[in-house]
C-alpha cells in the first residue's frame, strides 16, 4: 500500500492535488501531525469539528496515516510528547498512528545517533503505554545497521504493544542500496507484523520494497520531482523534461497525459504533480498484477530493472539477501 504524502499543514506552495476520486486504489494519505497541530487556523477548525479529510480534499473513506512529524526533528529538539501527539492524531481521526521519533543523520557522530535511537525507543514505549484506542499504532524504528534495527524491533515487541513497525532514517542513505536493503530485510525478519518504510515509495524503490516483503510505504517523490520538472516513468524512473526535444505526445496513457501534449504538461507544474502520482500508482498496479497472475516475480523484476545499472545491481543484492534468509 502506498501512502502519498500530503503537505497539509505545511507552509508550502507545493500543494498535494486532490486524487482519491480519480485514482481509486490510492484512497490513502500520509500527514504530518505536528505540522497540522502547529498551524493554528487549521487546528482550530479541527477542534471545532471540521473534518481533516474535507480540509485535504479527499474522500471520507480515505485511510489516513498520521506520523509524528519526526522528520522535523532531524536538526532540532523534540517539541512534543507521545501524549500530545496521540491526542493530535486522534483529533484528526487518523487511522494509523506513528510514534514520536528522532531521525538519524549520516553527518552525526555514532554516539549522537545512538542517543537518538534510544530516545525514539523510549518515546515509542510511552506511546504504547498511553494508547488505548482502536487505531493502528506503528512503532517508529531507526538504525544505520541491520543489527540495531532488528534488536530494536525485538525489544519493542517484548516491552510494548504495537500493531507493526515503521522504519525511518533511510532517505538520507537511499543511494546506498546495499545498506538500505540489508536494514529493511533485518526489520522484515524481526517481525511478522505490519512493516512500513518511511519516505522510500518512489518508482525506483517501490518494486524493491515489495519484493522484500514491505507492507506499506509513503512518498513525496511525485511533488518533489515535479518541482524539478522531472517526469516519472514507471519502469524507468525520472527524466528531466528539459532534456526532451521534438516530442509532441507523452509516453503515458494516464488521464493527464492522454488528453494533453508535451508542452502543456511541461508548462504546468500541477499537471506534472498529478501525472507523477499516477506513475506511482501504475508502478504498484503492475506489481499487483504480476502477483495476481502468478508470474515469477524475480523474472519480472530482472526485466523491470534491466535498463538501469544502479537499480539492477541493487535488485541483485536484494535477491541474494532474500535467498539467504529463506
| pLDDT single digits (tens) 75-131 | 567 788 999 999 999 999 999 999 999 999 888 888 999 999 999 999 999 999 999
For residues 294 and 248, what is the distance between their CA atoms, to the nearest angstrom? 37
User: What is the chain's mean pLDDT, rounded?
Assistant: 89
pLDDT of residue 71: 67
For residues 265 and 244, what is the distance between their CA atoms, to the nearest angstrom? 13
Number of H helices, E strands in the chain: 13, 10
pLDDT at 9 over 50: yes
pLDDT of residue 324: 73
pLDDT of residue 76: 65
Query: Which residues contact residue 36 at a Cβ distance below 8 angstroms, ignoring those fewer than 6 apart?
Result: 8, 9, 42, 43, 46, 52, 88, 92
Looking up cell 508502478 gives 283
**Strand arrangement of the beta sheet that strand 96-98 belongs to:** 2-4, 216-219, 194-197, 164-167, 136-141, 96-98, 63-67, 28-32
State the residue range of the domain holding 88: 1-326
The CATH number given to whatever domain includes residue 171 is: 3.20.20.105
DSSP bridge pairs for 136: 96
Pairing of strands 2-4, 216-219: parallel
pLDDT of residue 70: 72
pLDDT of residue 261: 92
Confidence band, pLDDT 50/70/90 cuts, at residue 13: very low
Dihedral sign of CA atoms 31, 35, 36, 42 in order: negative
Confidence band, pLDDT 50/70/90 cuts, at residue 161: very high
Number of folded domains that form the chain:
1
Amino acid at each position: 500500500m502506498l501512502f502519498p504524502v500530503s503537505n497539509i499543514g505545511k507552509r508550502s506552495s507545493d500543494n498535494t492535488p486532490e486524487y482519491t476520486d480519480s485514482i481509486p486504489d490510492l484512497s490513502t494519505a500520509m500527514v504530518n501531525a505536528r505540522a497540522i497541530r502547529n498551524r493554528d487556523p487549521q487546528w482550530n477548525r479541527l477542534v471545532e469539528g471540521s473534518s481533516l479529510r474535507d480540509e485535504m480534499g479527499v474522500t471520507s473513506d480515505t485511510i489516513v496515516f498520521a506520523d509524528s512529524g519526526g522528520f522535523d526533528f532531524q536538526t532540532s529538539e523534540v517539541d512534543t510528547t507521545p501524549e500530545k501527539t496521540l491526542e493530535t492524531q486522534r483529533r484528526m481521526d487518523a487511522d494509523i498512528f506513528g510514534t514520536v521519533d528522532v531521525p538519524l543523520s549520516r553527518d552525526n557522530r555514532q554516539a549522537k545517533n545512538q542517543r537518538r535511537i534510544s530516545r525514539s525507543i523510549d518515546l515509542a514505549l510511552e506511546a504504547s503505554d498511553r494508547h488505548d484506542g482502536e487505531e493502528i499504532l506503528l512503532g517508529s524504528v531507526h538504525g544505520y545497521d541491520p543489527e540495531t534495527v532488528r534488536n530494536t524491533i525485538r525489544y519493542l515487541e517484548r516491552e510494548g504493544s504495537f500493531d507493526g513497525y515503521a522504519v525511518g532514517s533511510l532517505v538520507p542513505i537511499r543511494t546506498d542500496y546495499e545498506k538500505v536493503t540489508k536494514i529493511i530485510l533485518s526489520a522484515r525478519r524481526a517481525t511478522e507484523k505490519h512493516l512500513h518504510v518511511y519516505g522510500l515509495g518512489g518508482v525506483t524503490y517501490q518494486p524493491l520494497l515489495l519484493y522484500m516483503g514491505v507492507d506499506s510505504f509513503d512518498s513525496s517523490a511525485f511533488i518533489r520531482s515535479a518541482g524539478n520538472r522531472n517526469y516519472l516513468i514507471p519502469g524507468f524512473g525520472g527524466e528531466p523534461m528539459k532534456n526532451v526535444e521534438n516530442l509532441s505526445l507523452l509516453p503515458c496513457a494516464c488521464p493527464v497525459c492522454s488528453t494533453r501534449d508535451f508542452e502543456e504538461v511541461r508548462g504546468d507544474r500541477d499537471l506534472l504533480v498529478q501525472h507523477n502520482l499516477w506513475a506511482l500508482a501504475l508502478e504498484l498496479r503492475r506489481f499487483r498484477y504480476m502477483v495476481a497472475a502468478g508470474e515469477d516475480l524475480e523474472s519480472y523484476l530482472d526485466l523491470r530493472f534491466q535498463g538501469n545499472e544502479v537499480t539492477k545491481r541493487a535488485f541483485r543484492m536484494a535477491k541474494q539477501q532474500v535467498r539467504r534468509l529463506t
